[in-house]
Chains A and B, each alone.
Chain A
Amino acid sequence: MNDISNLRATLSELDDLLVNCMRCGMCQSVCPVFQDSMLEGDVARGKLALIDGLAKRMIDSPVAVKERLDKCLLCGSCEANCPSGVKITDIFIKARTVLTAYIGLSPVKKAIFRGTLIHPRFFTGLLSMGAKFQWMATSKADPFLGTSCSKIMSPLIGNRHFLPLAKRPLHKDYSGVDTGKGTAGMRVAFYPGCVVDKMLPQVGHAVIKVLEHHGCGIYLPKNQGCCGIPALASGDEASFLKLLKHNLKPFSQGNYDVLVTPCATCTSTIKKLWPKMAAKISPEAEKKAQRIADRTMDISEFLVKTFDVDLSAHAVVGEKKTVTWHDPCHLKKSIGVSAEPRTILKGLPGYEYAEMNEADTCCGNGGSFNLLHYDTSSRIGAKKRENILATGADVVATGCPACMMQMTDMLSQGHDPVAVKHIIELYADAL
């Protein structure tokens, strides 16, 4: 282990950010983790006080502080509502990185991030192997939702009803696509993100269908890497930077007009974290990342701002259904997109739109938070489930695959007849 005084010195570099927290405690009203436990160590104020306390020698337990910091969804609800404008998630990510460097990465995470994620080709290969075996090991838990509860895996991962790996990942069908400008006169780069590629390829297919429908040229470079957020959230800056370097190459080329993703977390990471972190690589890398970030948009935002998305005149097939919307934290709180998806849903033929209560409250997934704190994550998810059910909706739509996984898990465990869809799937179906 490194010298603790070095650790304190590095944490002290955060002082200019930390000092802005006035300990008003208002973040208690929005933090899903705090509302579950009612413990100060779970809310932003408490976590910031711990970082501060460690830096200022009031406390001496980096491991315990790291544990508290890890019990956080990085949902940004606190930051979006902080009266003092504290850059909370920046502080958390930086502190996690510093603490991880001091304590070391857990062996499991090390294996995942260092061994697989940062080698996109290998990771992809590994997962598609998994897809083949998975069908032998899982039973169909709830046929309606298409989840499967793995008998073999369940001692390891609790009673999750997780989405199976797709038999055929998206990149098997689309890789290295570049169709020029298209009839709409624009070239759109498409970044599906890991979960869409490997678990929800149907979302990727829907994006492509929609882009083609609107006459966009598509640029989908080969061998895209993970956006890096799982590594960075775990404090593994080195792996994040490796992935970022890997991704900068294809996306600095292609001369595209917009880069779209159907994953709120990827969008937010690309827009907000790539440029900041690329500065650590080189000024040129920062410039490249900024160019990419400036052109990056959530798929719904892109559609609404570019095309007429009102399909209400289209013929209705079958009975009218009700759809509701869940605001992913990384969409609404992080990049301020919340009106556009509603515009799309309200213009869908055959659907009545119903707003759910607390539509912008976190679903409780939080990436690896779900793995580390499944109980808390489930209790937060259970509230989301109640709000979904209260609308009486047949379909809950959202804009982030991680939220889709969480809501699928929650609804499937309750055997609720509510389908979980990415908004782009609904839009594509209606075309």
Chain B
Amino acid sequence: MISGNLKKEFEILLGEKNVMSDEVSRMNYAYDAAVLDPVMPALVLRPESSEQLGDVLRLCGENGIPVTVRGAGTNLSGGTIPYKNGVVLLTNAMNKIIEINEADMYAIVQPGVVTANFAAAVAAKGLFYPPDPGSQKVSTLAGNVAENAGGLRGLKYGVTKDYLMGMDFFDAEGTLVKTGSKTVKCVTGFNVGGLMVASEGCLGVFNEITLKLIPPPKASKSMMAVYDSVADATESVAAIIAAKIVPCTLEFMDNFTIRAVEDYAKAGLPVDARALLLIEVDGHPGQVADEAAVVEEICKKHNASRIQVAKDDEEKNKVWEARRAALSALAKLKPTLVLEDATVPRSQIPEMVRGLDTVAAKFGLSIGTFGHAGDGNLHPTILCDRRDTKEWHKVEAAIEDIFDLALNLGGTLSGEHGIGIAKSGYMAREVGEGSMNYLHKIKNAVDPKGILNPGKVIGD
């Protein structure tokens, strides 16, 4: 429990407006984007500076108060659902871009900077920050690092971890820890930054983050390939990679999703198609032209019934609008949408899609599948109504089947949405008890009182 005295201390530290204890404010930070029950925190704290952030952690450490850090609260795994009687620590008042260094191509940011705002500021300087999660208009960079967020460009440009050069973070006692550097190369000490990636607030609270920037590609070309069979589509994916071409984006949509998008966005998609691939290659203009031609050739060879190459920016936009509309289109069909992200080695995509069909049929559920085919990271999306208890049990069983399916194909539970509380119970299935023990040992060593986002990732 948080005593009146401790609350006062927080108020002296942060100012009264940044310490919220009324019921309504606590309700407002009881949930995130995961389909899970809300839990109300005891207090909501909003530091405005690094010093305040460190002091809050020191106080929580001294008093053994559980802390759940929250960026935009868009994670899909319950990572920001607070611990009972704990506090929620908001980072959104710390949202300054401290430096964009064009000569050395890096940037330093506060934790609460919104991803898309950052990407735009970087683009304005003629540079490029590629990670573009679907939530980028609201997600924070610390949230991206803490979930190792990916996006549409993951295949060629990698995910958030590939852009993390260094950071400083506060540990469970409020001590500032530094790791990494602004230099391209750095082997000074353990790679603690690597450990912080996908740590979901369990190992430290990020303060300033140093991110790598790259020059933007000069040209790009997009196309849509239409297929009468899912196998042909997924085999095209494998063949494109085998031809040593790495498109920046290689997305898949199944028939269910195609129909939903067409119903909703009227984008002119072929509703009879069994599958679609949306492909973009980028780089130097010459290379782009060559690669686009080879990709087209490969798709044709794998029985694409139609290939539509975008002639201009407007057509290109249309291709990607269809993809961006996928989630909205599916979301509108039923009250509850469960967005999964079990991921397999990309050669296993055909098997994965077949398996998902079997799961949908077994439980009589509607599952629309789309996603990052090039990464092996599909998003089987289950549509249901959570209020229907019988159906919800089926959904839970189906999710478990999907996890097993992915693991049997040599895949992983989560490609980018994180473990949080939603998947922590399944962790051992993938990594085994020995690995779980090791993770617990790390956690106990750096956070002996267990105050940093307890219950997440590795469970209690």
A26-B138, A29-B114, A41-B25 are known; give 17 further A-B pairs, CB within 8 A.
A19-B385, A20-B331, A20-B335, A22-B33, A22-B337, A23-B32, A25-B32, A25-B72, A26-B74, A29-B138, A39-B25, A46-B28, A49-B27, A50-B24, A58-B38, A68-B24, A84-B331
Task: From the candidates A25, A41, A46, A83, name the one contacting B327 in the complex (CB within 8 A).
Answer: A83
Does B303 interact with chain A (Cβ within 8 Å)? no
A23 to B23, CA, bound (A): 19
Does A156 interact with chain B (Cβ within 8 Å)? no
A22 near B24 with CB under 8 A, answer no
Does A294 interact with chain B (Cβ within 8 Å)? no
On chain B, the residues within 8 Å of A39 by CB distance are 25, 28
A16 to B33, CA, bound (A): 19
30 A-B residue pairs with CB within 8 Å: A19-B335, A19-B336, A19-B385, A22-B33, A23-B33, A23-B34, A24-B74, A25-B72, A25-B73, A25-B74, A26-B74, A28-B137, A28-B138, A29-B116, A29-B137, A29-B138, A40-B29, A41-B28, A46-B28, A49-B31, A49-B38, A50-B24, A53-B27, A58-B30, A59-B27, A64-B24, A83-B327, A83-B328, A84-B328, A85-B332
The residue of chain B having its C-beta at the shortest distance from the C-beta of A41 within the complex is: B28
Q: Which 8 A-B pairs have the closest CB atoms?
A: A83-B328, A29-B137, A40-B28, A84-B331, A19-B335, A64-B24, A28-B138, A25-B74
A15 to B385, CA, bound (A): 12
The residue of chain B having its C-beta at the shortest distance from the C-beta of A38 within the complex is: B92
Question: Taking the nearest CB of chain A, how far is it from the CB of B48, in angstroms?
Answer: 11
A319 to B32, CA, bound (A): 56
On chain B, the residues within 8 Å of A23 by CB distance are 31-34
Does A139 interact with chain B (Cβ within 8 Å)? no
Total A-B Cβ pairs within 8 A:
89
Number of interface residues of A (CB under 8 A): 29
Within 8 A of B (CB), among A1-57: 15-16, 19-20, 22-26, 28-29, 38-41, 46, 49-50, 53
The residue of chain A having its C-beta at the shortest distance from the C-beta of B76 within the complex is: A24
Does A65 interact with chain B (Cβ within 8 Å)? yes
A68 to B73, CA, bound (A): 19
On chain B, the residues within 8 Å of A40 by CB distance are 28-29, 73
Does A358 interact with chain B (Cβ within 8 Å)? no
Max chain A CB contacts within 10 Å: which of B24, B328, B385, B386?
A: B24
Within 8 A of B (CB), among A70-121: 83-85
Does A61 interact with chain B (Cβ within 8 Å)? yes
Interface string of B7-25 (1 = CB under 8 A from A): 0000000000000001111
A25 to B38, CA, bound (A): 15
Known contacts A22-B33, A59-B24: A38-B74 contact under CB 8 Å: no
Question: Taking the nearest CB of chain A, how far is it from the CB of B383, in angstroms?
Answer: 11
Does B85 interact with chain A (Cβ within 8 Å)? no
Does A60 interact with chain B (Cβ within 8 Å)? yes
Question: Taking the nearest CB of chain B, how far is it from the CB of A367, in angstroms?
Answer: 23
The residue of chain B having its C-beta at the shortest distance from the C-beta of A18 within the complex is: B335
B135 near A64 with CB under 8 A, answer no
On chain B, the residues within 8 Å of A60 by CB distance are 23
Does B218 interact with chain A (Cβ within 8 Å)? no
B31 near A83 with CB under 8 A, answer no
A379 to B386, CA, bound (A): 40
A61 near B385 with CB under 8 A, answer no
B337 near A28 with CB under 8 A, answer no
Question: Taking the nearest CB of chain B, how far is it from the CB of A361, in angstroms?
Answer: 14
A15 to B135, CA, bound (A): 26
B33 near A25 with CB under 8 A, answer yes
A23 to B81, CA, bound (A): 12
Max chain A CB contacts within 10 Å: which of B23, B29, B336?
A: B23
Question: Measuring CB to CB, which residues of chain B are less than 8 angstroms from any residue of chain A?
Answer: 22-25, 27-35, 38, 40, 72-74, 90, 92-93, 95, 114, 116, 135, 137-138, 327-328, 331-332, 335-337, 385-387
A23 to B73, CA, bound (A): 9
On chain A, the residues within 8 Å of B27 by CB distance are 49-50, 53, 58-59
Task: From the candidates B22, B114, B138, name the one contacting A64 in the complex (CB within 8 A).
Answer: B22
On chain B, the residues within 8 Å of A58 by CB distance are 27, 30, 38, 40
Task: From the candidates B24, B137, B332, name the one contacting A65 in the complex (CB within 8 A).
Answer: B24
Question: Measuring CB to CB, which residues of chain A are less than 8 angstroms from any residue of chain B?
Answer: 15-16, 19-20, 22-26, 28-29, 38-41, 46, 49-50, 53, 58-61, 64-65, 68, 83-85
Question: Taking the nearest CB of chain B, how far is it from the CB of A262, in angstroms?
Answer: 32
On chain A, the residues within 8 Å of B332 by CB distance are 84-85
On chain B, the residues within 8 Å of A59 by CB distance are 23-24, 27
On chain B, the residues within 8 Å of A38 by CB distance are 90, 92-93, 95
On chain A, the residues within 8 Å of B337 by CB distance are 22, 84
Known contacts A38-B92, A41-B25, A58-B40: A22-B336 contact under CB 8 Å: yes
A61 near B24 with CB under 8 A, answer yes
A336 to B138, CA, bound (A): 24
A83 near B331 with CB under 8 A, answer yes
Task: From the candidates B24, B92, B135, name the one contacting A24 in the complex (CB within 8 A).
Answer: B135
A140 to B90, CA, bound (A): 45
A65 to B28, CA, bound (A): 11
On chain B, the residues within 8 Å of A19 by CB distance are 335-336, 385-387
The residue of chain A having its C-beta at the shortest distance from the C-beta of B329 within the complex is: A83
A347 to B212, CA, bound (A): 48
On chain B, the residues within 8 Å of A20 by CB distance are 331, 335
A352 to B102, CA, bound (A): 37
Question: Taking the nearest CB of chain B, how far is it from the CB of A336, in angstroms?
Answer: 15
A19 to B29, CA, bound (A): 18
The residue of chain B having its C-beta at the shortest distance from the C-beta of A21 within the complex is: B335
Question: Taking the nearest CB of chain A, how far is it from the CB of B33, in angstroms?
Answer: 5
Task: From the candidates A29, A50, A85, name the one contacting B28 in the complex (CB within 8 A).
Answer: A50
On chain A, the residues within 8 Å of B93 by CB distance are 38
Question: Taking the nearest CB of chain A, how far is it from the CB of B31, in angstroms?
Answer: 6
On chain B, the residues within 8 Å of A85 by CB distance are 328, 331-332
On chain A, the residues within 8 Å of B24 by CB distance are 41, 50, 59, 61, 64-65, 68
A22 to B330, CA, bound (A): 12
Question: Taking the nearest CB of chain A, how far is it from the CB of B40, in angstroms?
Answer: 7
A61 near B72 with CB under 8 A, answer no
Question: Taking the nearest CB of chain B, how far is it from the CB of A35, in angstroms?
Answer: 10
On chain A, the residues within 8 Å of B116 by CB distance are 29
Question: Taking the nearest CB of chain A, how far is it from the CB of B348, in angstroms?
Answer: 29
Question: Taking the nearest CB of chain A, how far is it from the CB of B337, in angstroms?
Answer: 6
On chain B, the residues within 8 Å of A53 by CB distance are 27, 30, 38
On chain B, the residues within 8 Å of A26 by CB distance are 74, 135, 137-138
A64 to B35, CA, bound (A): 26
The residue of chain A having its C-beta at the shortest distance from the C-beta of B331 within the complex is: A84
On chain B, the residues within 8 Å of A83 by CB distance are 327-328, 331
A61 near B31 with CB under 8 A, answer no
Question: Taking the nearest CB of chain B, how far is it from the CB of A243, in angstroms?
Answer: 32
A23 to B387, CA, bound (A): 16
The residue of chain B having its C-beta at the shortest distance from the C-beta of A46 within the complex is: B28
A65 to B27, CA, bound (A): 10
Max chain B CB contacts within 10 Å: which of A15, A20, A65?
A: A20
The residue of chain B having its C-beta at the shortest distance from the C-beta of A47 within the complex is: B28
A25 near B331 with CB under 8 A, answer no
